[in-house]
A and B are shown apart, each in its own frame.
Chain A
């Protein structure tokens, strides 16, 4: 056996033995384990699964071992994912710390920052949120105005963020603030980390059209942030932010359908509309739209697989991540429109006051944000036209 075959066999055996049965069931948004200081596990199985996986460094398999990871190679990581998928194992932990802050600290953090923050993320002990957008700085993120005044041993942060995902449940925030008001807009931004329990931080959830409140308004009133909690130099924040946005786009574009809702379009259509006497969906025009969708979806799967191979080969996606983000999110909006159309009147039964995250209408409404958050579709097209096509 090659090393990889041995790794696969050992991984399979370990997962079989250690993944609780309850963690092998299909999951919806409410089953996600986010971790954090105030996290209440949904079940013993969820807790055990997180502890076992974190113990092996498999919540963040490719991170170095000293940072809480397992130091897996790209191929080993792929095998681990394949073996988890084989038994439908749920991800033990999801978090903005894993997806975003971790990669940023690995690339730009000091050794002390890596050793302090990364293992906490890997073990699910601290839940992070991202302080980027502001009421006046959406697509034009670099015009953000939250102030960070350098007071020697600390920064004093004042201002407001918006669309801060789960800020009301997060323990810490990584936050873009303007520390150099005299510099040009891209060069005056710094990247700070601070505790959401700090005096002066308040959050207010925003209720969305889907009934859910995954985002908050977040207010900072003279919040003191110790000087060693800056990542990179003063004025270097935009470089880190851009790096992270690329990660976010890859993630949003590459999110598999489980997070977008497990309602399979084909099943919904068949169940709701039925088949005619030739075994065809009893709605020829909707059927044609579904065919167009399936073609685009399978083609996009090939694009995603190619992007993963690209990353495994050690290359950066860079501006190409905008293709994934744009195509993936537009496709998901189409999927949800088609599911609603296939569901017909039955899909309209929905109670705003008591909306569950995985109902058809909730997913349909939530999907509208996909092409806005993390950079709008229009911003993605502008990135591609400038960075790839060199139009401008």
Chain B
């Protein structure tokens, strides 16, 4: 029931074609087995396609296509478990830079020159407003102290955008990872991507590192998270659809008791229930992305519903996929496990159903 216009269909088909060739699931598998977590050529090729400039103004060298377009690309990445800093750099990084009129780095992002990571979380659960990292004013600039956990794409990033409290409220800082006092402990993650725990010890920032301060910083952070979680949700929809498709195919092939599994009603109904969940999730995610592009007031709540629902649905999809594949689903040789790992990581990142459910309850006065 998805209505895509001509341009959207083109974006999706191009993304699918490019990724199928250049970043399929086997590419992630190879990177994992070789101990790599970043593919520079892929990053450059994607930038060449315009993907890293989708949320960058045309004046800054971007193509300014909006969140819906970014979601279409992310969904295709989810289908193929594409290992890329797209979400960190092209979606959240670019949104932060655009919101703060930082054109130099926006242009670099669009051109595919460098990785920007978001240093937001400090706790084991996503609590973006629980910030103990401090930036104290010092001369023209600031001194940064604190720690950030699980900065996705943080190992080897060129810049991180750091949330820190100042005497004047929230500050957003663009921090050069090469500065003295910035330490990154690279983490191996369940989904074979890269993340890092970062510490900042008396890091001297010049005035230009401050992107936004106070209420404007909060607005930009809210927007970054809104866009980030909506696009991440689209990626989760891709994960869900791909494992569901693979499972339905498997049910049609695999024979037991002299019958294909597809003839068992218990399995038919589970597959059909999963289908309905994915449909509803796809609709919620599309509504969130559209609300962002329309500048609608509903964008905040819709983005939270999208992330909560997409995480739950992806979790259901990978669990059902594994169970219905049976023993073969437990093997590393089959890809189902890779999708399961991605679903777990992506559902947790930027907040799970409980995190966003809590926000919705508070908004509704409960």
Interface residues of A (CB under 8 A from B): 266, 269-270, 275, 279-281, 287-288, 290-292, 294-296, 298-300, 302-303, 305-307, 309-310, 313, 317, 320, 323, 326-327, 378, 380-382, 384-386, 388-392
Contacts and interface: CB of A to CB of B under 8 A. Distances in A.
A292 B3 contact: no
Contact of A323 (B276, B286, B301, B362): B276
Contacts of B2: 306
Top 6 nearest A-B pairs (CB, nearest first) are A291-B357, A385-B268, A299-B284, A302-B287, A303-B283, A384-B272
Contacts of B358: 291
Interface in B271-313: 271-273, 275-276, 279-281, 283-284, 286-287, 301-302, 305-306, 308-309, 312
A388 B268 contact: no
B252 interface: yes
A18 B252 CA distance: 59
Contacts of B268: 381-382, 385-386, 389, 391-392
B104 interface: no
Contacts of A279: 362, 365
Given A270-B366, A306-B1, A389-B272, A296 B309 contact: yes
A381 B252 contact: no
B353 interface: yes
Contacts of A380: 272
Contacts of B360: 291, 294-295, 298
Q: Which of B2, B263, B306, B308 counts the most chain A CB atoms within 10 A?
A: B308
B366 A269 contact: yes
A295 B309 contact: yes
Given A295-B360, A299-B305, A391-B248, 7 more contacts: A298-B302, A305-B283, A326-B276, A381-B268, A381-B269, A385-B269, A388-B275
B275 A389 contact: yes
Contacts of A281: 361, 366
Contact of A266 (B251, B353, B365): B365
B41 interface: no
A300 B272 contact: no
Contacts of A291: 353-354, 357-358, 360-361
A389 B271 contact: yes
B265 interface: yes
Given A306-B2, A317-B1, A326-B276, A290 B361 contact: yes
A385 B272 contact: yes
Nearest to B359: A291
B110 to A, nearest CB: 31
A290 B357 CA distance: 9
A382 B305 contact: no
Contacts of B308: 295
Contacts of B1: 303, 306-307, 310, 317, 320, 323
A302 B284 contact: yes
Interface string B244-275: 00001001100000000011010111011101
A137 to B, nearest CB: 20
Given A302-B280, A302-B283, A323-B276, A287 B271 contact: no
A59 to B, nearest CB: 28
A299 B272 contact: no
Interface string B330-366: 0000000000000000000000011011101110111
Nearest to B287: A302
B325 to A, nearest CB: 15
A305 B287 contact: yes
Contacts of B364: 266, 294
Contacts of B262: 391-392
9 contacts: A290-B361, A296-B309, A298-B305, A298-B360, A299-B281, A313-B3, A388-B272, A389-B248, A391-B267
Contacts of A390: 248, 252
A391 B279 contact: no
Contact of B286 (A302, A317, A326): A302
Contact of B361 (A280, A299, A326): A280
Contact of A295 (B252, B286, B305): B305
A391 B361 contact: no
Contact of A303 (B252, B284, B362): B284
A381 B276 CA distance: 9
A252 to B, nearest CB: 15
Contacts of B286: 302, 306
Contacts of B281: 299
B283 A299 contact: yes
A320 B364 CA distance: 31
A391 B267 CA distance: 9
Nearest to B251: A391
Nearest to B252: A391
Interface string B201-236: 000000000000000000000000000000000000
B5 to A, nearest CB: 11
Contact of B280 (A300, A317, A388, A389): A300
Interface in B75-103: none
Interface string B1-17: 11100000000000000
B282 to A, nearest CB: 8
Contact of A327 (B276, B312, B354, B361): B276
Interface string B175-215: 00000000000000000000000000000000000000000
A391 B271 CA distance: 9
A333 B67 CA distance: 35
Contacts of A381: 268-269, 272-273
A228 to B, nearest CB: 39
Contact of A280 (B309, B356, B366): B366
A296 B308 CA distance: 9
Contact of B353 (A292, A384, A391): A292
B366 A303 contact: no
A70 to B, nearest CB: 26
